[in-house]
């Protein structure tokens, strides 16, 4: 288990579908790189003038993150991505 510190979040990458909604299969080369991740662990938050500001995401949320700000790591055979809370752009509902 990876426990991030401060306002960092650990994600697993969410793969995009290999076919369109109309049923057309896509080749591997035509798939776009996805910036979607599912939250697996969340830090305790960050302090601002002595006040703890908790993260706005929770475990199992699917989020959009800034790709250039992600730090990929491998732990126990699984690939993870660590991002700061400020680099999460949206929660997908």
**Total domain count, the chain:** 1
Overall pTM > 0.95:
no
CATH code at 65? Answer: 2.30.33.40
27 is a domain residue: no
**Residue 13 neighbours by CB under 8 Å, 6+ apart:** 34, 36, 37, 79, 81
60 is a domain residue: yes
Give pLDDT, residue 30.
46
**Residue 17 neighbours by CB under 8 Å, 6+ apart:** 26
Residue that wins the pLDDT comparison between 4 and 19: 4
Could you tell me whether strands 71-75 and 88-92 are parallel, antiparallel, or unpaired per DSSP bridges?
Answer: unpaired
57 is a domain residue: yes
- Whether the CA torsion 5, 87, 53, 63 is positive or negative: it is negative
Give the domain range for residue 68. 8-16+32-92
21 is a domain residue: no
23 is a domain residue: no
Please write the tens of the pLDDT for every residue from 5-54: 999 999 999 876 665 566 666 555 545 567 899 999 999 999 999 999 99
Q: How many CA atoms lie within 13 A of 10 on its CB side?
A: 16
């Amino acid at each position: 288990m990876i426990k991030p510190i401060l306002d960092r979040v650990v994600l697993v990458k969410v793969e995009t579908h290999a076919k369109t909604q109309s049923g057309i299969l896509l080749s591997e080369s035509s798939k776009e790189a996805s910036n979607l991740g599912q939250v697996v662990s969340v830090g305790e938050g960050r302090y601002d003038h002595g006040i703890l500001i908790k993260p706005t995401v929770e475990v199992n949320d699917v989020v959009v993150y800034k790709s250039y700000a992600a730090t990929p790591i491998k732990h126990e055979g699984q690939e993870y991505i660590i991002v700061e809370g400020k680099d999460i752009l949206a929660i997908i509902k």
